[in-house]
Amino acid sequence: MILDLHNHSIKSDDGRARVENYCQWIRKRELPLDGLVLTEHRQFDTESDYRKLEDTYGLLILKASEVETDYGHVLVFGVNEDLQNAFDFTRVDLPLDLVLREARRCGAVAAPCHPGRINVGLCAHYGERGAVEGVELIETLNGGSRSGEDDRALELAKDHGYRGFGGSDAHIVSHIGRCATRFDDEIASMDDLVQALRGERFEAISWKS
């Protein structure tokens, strides 16, 4: 099962894609995706209900968040009410160790994304301040990465023994499906996804040319 774990819709301030257009695009271009995860910036979207789109297009559509920490941006899968009350998602300077700790306490998974990116990635901060305990999973393939950024992420994962996943980081329709994650097991819900990401039965994949 292949899911694109990192995408933004018009709910994000810099997102320009409607979710239905992502779905249409996936089907029109026959992308090998079984679903996508919406990771809106600095928020968790409690309003949108994508079940009708799931039925229409035969895709799994899940919701997560991308928060901003003192070590760069972090995807949080499995956001629930407890976690929303644990810290302020709108802040741009959340302590990474707080996000990791609270995510774990609330049954979620927090994973630094595009770690090789300058300023908003983990690698630069590790270089200056050292590694953070509690990181286990990072985005090793990101659809928006520039030259060398994914290589740095893969090296970081290798050096620290982190598991790696992939996501497109799409902000416009045509950028979905550039990177994704292939799971050995069926994923039907956010609970399934969180469980799978805690294990090792998945791999990051890329279709970037």
Partner 1 sequence: MTRAFASVELGDDLPEVQPDVSMENVRLFCASARMPFGRFTDHEKARAEGLPGAIVPGIMSQALLSALVHRWSPGCRIENMDTIFRAPVLVDSKPTCRGVVTNTDPESETIELDLTIVNEAGETRVVGTAQVRL
The site for partner 1 (CB under 8 A) is made up of 14, 16-17, 21, 24-25, 28-29, 144, 146-147, 171-175, 208-209
Contact by Cβ (8 Å): 14, 45: no
Residue number with CB closer to partner 1 (1 or 172): 172
Give me 141's structure tokens: 């393939």
The minimum distance between CB 13 and partner 1, in angstroms, equals 10
Parallel, antiparallel, or unpaired for β 137-142 and 109-112?
A: unpaired
DSSP line for 56-104: HHT-EEEEEEEEEETTEEEEEES--HHHHHHS-TT-S-B-HHHHHHHHH
Residue number with CB closer to partner 1 (125 or 178): 178
Residue number with CB closer to partner 1 (106 or 173): 173
| HSE-CB of 96 using CA atoms within 13 angstroms | 23
The minimum distance between CB 209 and partner 1, in angstroms, equals 7
Contact by Cβ (8 Å): 122, 71: yes
The minimum distance between CB 9 and partner 1, in angstroms, equals 13
The minimum distance between CB 25 and partner 1, in angstroms, equals 6
Residue number with CB closer to partner 1 (22 or 71): 22
The minimum distance between CB 155 and partner 1, in angstroms, equals 19
Residue number with CB closer to partner 1 (68 or 102): 68
